[in-house]
Amino acid sequence: MQTGYYSSAAGMVTQFNRLDTIANNLANVNTAGFKEDNLIVGDFMRIYKEKRDELSLDNNTKESAQFLNRTMTRVPQIVDSYTDYSVGSLQKTSNPLDFALSRKGLFFAVKTPQGVRLTRDGSFTTNNEGKLVTKQGYEVLPNDYFKNVSNAGIDINQEDGVISVDKNGQISTNIPNTSKFTQGSKIFIAQPDNINLLEKEGDNLYKMKDIDKLRSLEDSGAVSQGFVEKSNVNAVKMMTQLIETNRLVGMYQKAMTTQMDDMNRDAIQKLAKKA
Protein backbone atom coordinates (compact mmCIF):
# COMPACT_ATOMS: atom_id res chain seq x y z
CA MET A 1 0.00 0.00 0.00
CA GLN A 2 1.30 3.46 -0.87
CA THR A 3 1.53 5.74 2.15
CA GLY A 4 2.10 8.87 0.07
CA TYR A 5 -1.61 9.34 -0.60
CA TYR A 6 -2.52 9.27 3.09
CA SER A 7 0.44 11.49 4.00
CA SER A 8 -0.67 14.05 1.42
CA ALA A 9 -4.26 13.94 2.70
CA ALA A 10 -3.08 14.48 6.29
CA GLY A 11 -0.86 17.34 5.18
CA MET A 12 -3.82 18.97 3.45
CA VAL A 13 -5.88 18.72 6.66
CA THR A 14 -3.08 20.55 8.49
CA GLN A 15 -3.18 23.36 5.93
CA PHE A 16 -6.99 23.55 6.18
CA ASN A 17 -6.58 24.14 9.93
CA ARG A 18 -4.11 26.90 9.19
CA LEU A 19 -6.57 28.43 6.72
CA ASP A 20 -9.29 28.49 9.39
CA THR A 21 -7.01 30.33 11.82
CA ILE A 22 -5.75 32.81 9.22
CA ALA A 23 -9.30 33.51 8.00
CA ASN A 24 -10.47 34.16 11.57
CA ASN A 25 -7.57 36.59 12.13
CA LEU A 26 -8.36 38.46 8.92
CA ALA A 27 -12.07 38.58 9.77
CA ASN A 28 -11.21 40.32 13.06
CA VAL A 29 -8.59 42.73 11.73
CA ASN A 30 -10.93 45.62 12.62
CA THR A 31 -12.26 44.14 15.89
CA ALA A 32 -11.27 46.29 18.87
CA GLY A 33 -8.96 44.48 21.29
CA PHE A 34 -8.76 41.28 19.23
CA LYS A 35 -5.60 39.22 19.67
CA GLU A 36 -4.03 37.26 16.84
CA ASP A 37 -4.07 33.44 16.99
CA ASN A 38 -1.26 31.28 15.62
CA LEU A 39 -0.64 27.56 15.09
CA ILE A 40 2.60 25.61 15.48
CA VAL A 41 3.19 22.95 12.83
CA GLY A 42 5.30 20.02 14.06
CA ASP A 43 8.83 19.62 12.70
CA PHE A 44 9.19 15.83 12.46
CA MET A 45 12.97 15.85 12.21
CA ARG A 46 13.10 17.59 15.59
CA ILE A 47 10.39 15.33 17.01
CA TYR A 48 12.27 12.31 15.71
CA LYS A 49 15.47 13.33 17.48
CA GLU A 50 13.67 14.03 20.74
CA LYS A 51 11.80 10.71 20.71
CA ARG A 52 14.94 8.85 19.67
CA ASP A 53 16.75 10.25 22.69
CA GLU A 54 13.88 9.19 24.95
CA LEU A 55 14.01 5.66 23.53
CA SER A 56 17.83 5.58 23.69
CA LEU A 57 18.17 4.33 20.12
CA ASP A 58 21.75 4.24 18.90
CA ASN A 59 22.62 5.52 15.44
CA ASN A 60 23.36 3.06 12.62
CA THR A 61 21.28 0.30 14.20
CA LYS A 62 18.38 -1.66 12.77
CA GLU A 63 16.00 -0.34 15.45
CA SER A 64 17.01 3.25 14.77
CA ALA A 65 16.54 2.81 11.01
CA GLN A 66 13.07 1.30 11.52
CA PHE A 67 12.07 4.15 13.83
CA LEU A 68 13.36 6.75 11.34
CA ASN A 69 11.39 5.15 8.49
CA ARG A 70 8.21 5.10 10.55
CA THR A 71 8.71 8.73 11.57
CA MET A 72 9.51 10.09 8.13
CA THR A 73 6.34 8.60 6.65
CA ARG A 74 4.34 10.94 8.86
CA VAL A 75 3.36 14.45 7.83
CA PRO A 76 3.50 17.82 9.54
CA GLN A 77 0.59 18.35 11.89
CA ILE A 78 -0.64 20.99 14.33
CA VAL A 79 1.15 20.38 17.63
CA ASP A 80 0.21 23.55 19.50
CA SER A 81 -1.53 26.90 19.27
CA TYR A 82 -1.04 30.22 21.00
CA THR A 83 -2.39 33.76 21.14
CA ASP A 84 -0.28 36.85 20.61
CA TYR A 85 -1.22 39.17 23.49
CA SER A 86 0.90 42.12 22.37
CA VAL A 87 -0.80 45.51 22.64
CA GLY A 88 -2.42 46.82 19.47
CA SER A 89 -2.21 50.45 18.43
CA LEU A 90 -4.46 52.90 20.28
CA GLN A 91 -6.95 54.86 18.19
CA LYS A 92 -8.38 58.12 19.47
CA THR A 93 -12.18 58.34 19.38
CA SER A 94 -12.84 61.18 21.88
CA ASN A 95 -15.81 59.13 23.11
CA PRO A 96 -15.84 59.40 26.95
CA LEU A 97 -17.09 55.80 27.21
CA ASP A 98 -14.28 54.34 25.09
CA PHE A 99 -11.32 52.92 27.01
CA ALA A 100 -8.06 51.27 26.03
CA LEU A 101 -5.48 49.39 28.09
CA SER A 102 -1.92 50.36 27.22
CA ARG A 103 -0.24 47.42 28.98
CA LYS A 104 -0.03 43.78 27.99
CA GLY A 105 -1.78 41.25 30.22
CA LEU A 106 -4.51 43.56 31.54
CA PHE A 107 -8.24 43.05 30.91
CA PHE A 108 -11.63 44.51 31.72
CA ALA A 109 -14.00 42.24 33.66
CA VAL A 110 -17.58 41.87 32.41
CA LYS A 111 -20.61 39.89 33.57
CA THR A 112 -22.14 37.47 31.05
CA PRO A 113 -24.90 34.84 31.37
CA GLN A 114 -22.11 32.23 31.56
CA GLY A 115 -20.30 34.05 34.36
CA VAL A 116 -17.56 36.65 34.66
CA ARG A 117 -15.34 36.94 31.59
CA LEU A 118 -12.38 39.11 30.56
CA THR A 119 -12.03 41.32 27.50
CA ARG A 120 -9.65 43.86 25.95
CA ASP A 121 -12.44 45.56 24.01
CA GLY A 122 -13.14 48.80 25.86
CA SER A 123 -15.64 50.35 23.44
CA PHE A 124 -18.40 50.65 26.03
CA THR A 125 -21.85 52.24 26.06
CA THR A 126 -24.83 52.41 28.44
CA ASN A 127 -28.02 50.35 28.53
CA ASN A 128 -31.57 51.45 29.32
CA GLU A 129 -30.85 51.21 33.04
CA GLY A 130 -27.84 53.52 32.82
CA LYS A 131 -25.33 50.69 33.37
CA LEU A 132 -21.95 50.72 31.64
CA VAL A 133 -22.01 47.78 29.22
CA THR A 134 -20.12 46.34 26.26
CA LYS A 135 -21.44 46.49 22.71
CA GLN A 136 -22.92 43.02 23.31
CA GLY A 137 -24.78 44.24 26.41
CA TYR A 138 -22.54 42.66 29.08
CA GLU A 139 -22.21 44.75 32.24
CA VAL A 140 -18.76 46.16 32.98
CA LEU A 141 -17.82 45.28 36.55
CA PRO A 142 -16.56 47.62 39.28
CA ASN A 143 -13.31 46.90 41.13
CA ASP A 144 -15.09 45.67 44.30
CA TYR A 145 -17.40 43.21 42.52
CA PHE A 146 -16.01 40.04 44.14
CA LYS A 147 -16.11 41.68 47.57
CA ASN A 148 -19.78 42.52 47.12
CA VAL A 149 -21.37 40.47 44.35
CA SER A 150 -24.68 42.29 44.78
CA ASN A 151 -22.90 45.48 43.70
CA ALA A 152 -23.04 44.54 40.04
CA GLY A 153 -22.59 47.11 37.35
CA ILE A 154 -21.35 50.68 37.03
CA ASP A 155 -24.00 53.41 36.92
CA ILE A 156 -23.46 56.23 34.41
CA ASN A 157 -25.72 59.27 34.65
CA GLN A 158 -26.14 60.64 31.14
CA GLU A 159 -27.14 64.00 32.62
CA ASP A 160 -23.63 64.48 34.00
CA GLY A 161 -21.88 67.09 31.90
CA VAL A 162 -18.39 65.60 32.19
CA ILE A 163 -17.37 61.98 32.77
CA SER A 164 -13.69 61.63 33.61
CA VAL A 165 -11.75 58.40 34.09
CA ASP A 166 -8.15 58.43 35.31
CA LYS A 167 -5.26 56.08 34.43
CA ASN A 168 -6.35 53.61 37.12
CA GLY A 169 -10.00 53.38 36.02
CA GLN A 170 -11.47 55.70 38.68
CA ILE A 171 -14.65 57.33 37.35
CA SER A 172 -15.45 60.91 38.36
CA THR A 173 -18.33 63.14 37.32
CA ASN A 174 -18.81 66.85 37.75
CA ILE A 175 -21.35 68.28 40.14
CA PRO A 176 -24.02 70.09 38.06
CA ASN A 177 -23.39 73.84 37.61
CA THR A 178 -19.98 73.59 39.30
CA SER A 179 -16.42 72.75 38.33
CA LYS A 180 -16.08 70.24 41.16
CA PHE A 181 -15.92 66.48 40.60
CA THR A 182 -17.21 63.64 42.71
CA GLN A 183 -15.79 60.11 42.57
CA GLY A 184 -18.00 57.23 41.57
CA SER A 185 -17.25 53.60 40.76
CA LYS A 186 -13.88 52.27 39.69
CA ILE A 187 -13.51 49.95 36.69
CA PHE A 188 -12.28 46.42 37.40
CA ILE A 189 -8.80 46.04 35.84
CA ALA A 190 -7.79 42.37 35.89
CA GLN A 191 -4.26 41.03 35.65
CA PRO A 192 -4.22 37.20 35.43
CA ASP A 193 -1.09 35.47 36.71
CA ASN A 194 -0.67 33.51 33.46
CA ILE A 195 -2.42 34.88 30.38
CA ASN A 196 -1.44 31.75 28.42
CA LEU A 197 -4.03 29.81 30.44
CA LEU A 198 -6.91 31.97 29.20
CA GLU A 199 -9.42 30.36 26.86
CA LYS A 200 -10.99 32.34 24.04
CA GLU A 201 -14.76 32.46 23.77
CA GLY A 202 -17.05 34.25 21.37
CA ASP A 203 -17.75 38.00 21.49
CA ASN A 204 -14.05 38.75 22.04
CA LEU A 205 -14.18 37.29 25.57
CA TYR A 206 -11.73 35.17 27.59
CA LYS A 207 -12.55 32.49 30.12
CA MET A 208 -10.39 32.02 33.20
CA LYS A 209 -10.44 29.28 35.82
CA ASP A 210 -11.01 30.42 39.41
CA ILE A 211 -11.83 33.91 38.19
CA ASP A 212 -13.66 34.63 41.45
CA LYS A 213 -10.24 34.70 43.15
CA LEU A 214 -9.04 37.47 40.83
CA ARG A 215 -8.70 40.92 42.35
CA SER A 216 -8.71 44.29 40.63
CA LEU A 217 -5.38 46.01 40.05
CA GLU A 218 -5.67 49.25 42.00
CA ASP A 219 -2.83 51.19 40.36
CA SER A 220 -2.63 49.93 36.80
CA GLY A 221 -1.79 53.30 35.25
CA ALA A 222 -2.88 51.85 31.90
CA VAL A 223 -6.42 53.14 31.25
CA SER A 224 -6.73 55.65 28.41
CA GLN A 225 -10.13 57.34 28.13
CA GLY A 226 -11.32 58.33 24.68
CA PHE A 227 -9.26 55.63 22.96
CA VAL A 228 -9.85 52.07 21.76
CA GLU A 229 -7.22 49.41 21.23
CA LYS A 230 -7.17 48.18 17.66
CA SER A 231 -6.60 44.54 16.72
CA ASN A 232 -2.95 43.45 16.78
CA VAL A 233 -3.46 41.35 13.62
CA ASN A 234 -0.88 42.16 10.94
CA ALA A 235 -3.00 42.07 7.79
CA VAL A 236 0.00 41.97 5.44
CA LYS A 237 1.52 39.01 7.29
CA MET A 238 -1.80 37.20 7.32
CA MET A 239 -2.29 37.69 3.59
CA THR A 240 1.21 36.33 2.95
CA GLN A 241 0.43 33.28 5.08
CA LEU A 242 -2.89 32.87 3.29
CA ILE A 243 -1.16 32.75 -0.11
CA GLU A 244 1.48 30.34 1.19
CA THR A 245 -1.12 28.01 2.71
CA ASN A 246 -3.23 28.00 -0.46
CA ARG A 247 -0.18 27.01 -2.47
CA LEU A 248 0.59 24.17 -0.06
CA VAL A 249 -2.99 22.93 -0.34
CA GLY A 250 -2.59 22.87 -4.13
CA MET A 251 0.71 20.98 -3.84
CA TYR A 252 -0.81 18.36 -1.54
CA GLN A 253 -3.80 18.01 -3.85
CA LYS A 254 -1.52 17.44 -6.81
CA ALA A 255 0.46 14.87 -4.83
CA MET A 256 -2.76 13.05 -3.91
CA THR A 257 -3.88 12.99 -7.55
CA THR A 258 -0.50 11.64 -8.66
CA GLN A 259 -0.49 8.98 -5.96
CA MET A 260 -4.01 7.87 -6.81
CA ASP A 261 -3.25 7.73 -10.57
CA ASP A 262 -0.13 5.64 -9.92
CA MET A 263 -2.04 3.37 -7.57
CA ASN A 264 -4.85 2.80 -10.08
CA ARG A 265 -2.40 2.24 -12.95
CA ASP A 266 -0.42 -0.30 -10.93
CA ALA A 267 -3.61 -2.11 -9.93
CA ILE A 268 -4.87 -2.25 -13.54
CA GLN A 269 -1.54 -3.54 -14.83
CA LYS A 270 -1.28 -6.24 -12.17
CA LEU A 271 -4.86 -7.35 -12.69
CA ALA A 272 -4.32 -7.42 -16.45
CA LYS A 273 -1.25 -9.63 -16.09
CA LYS A 274 -3.12 -12.08 -13.86
CA ALA A 275 -6.00 -12.16 -16.31
Residue-wise pLDDT for 68-122, tens only, equals: 555 555 667 777 889 999 999 999 999 999 999 999 999 999 999 999 999 999 9
The better pLDDT of the pair 18, 58 is held by 18
Distance CA 81, CA 158 (A): 43
- Whose CA is closest to 2, among 261, 225, 242? 261
pTM for the model stands at 0.79
Q: Could you tell me whether strands 132-133 and 78-83 are parallel, antiparallel, or unpaired per DSSP bridges?
A: unpaired
Residues 172, 182 contacting (CB under 8 angstroms): yes
Percent over 90 (pLDDT), the chain: 49
Return all residues near 78 (Cβ < 8 A) that are at least 6 apart.
Answer: 14, 17, 18, 39, 40, 41, 42
Predicted pLDDT at 275 = 55
- Binning pLDDT at 50, 70 and 90, where does residue 224 land? very high
Please report, for the chain, the start and end positions of each structural domain, with discontinuous segments joined by +.
4-80+233-274, 90-229
* Predicted confidence (pLDDT) at residue 269 exceeds the cutoff of 80: no
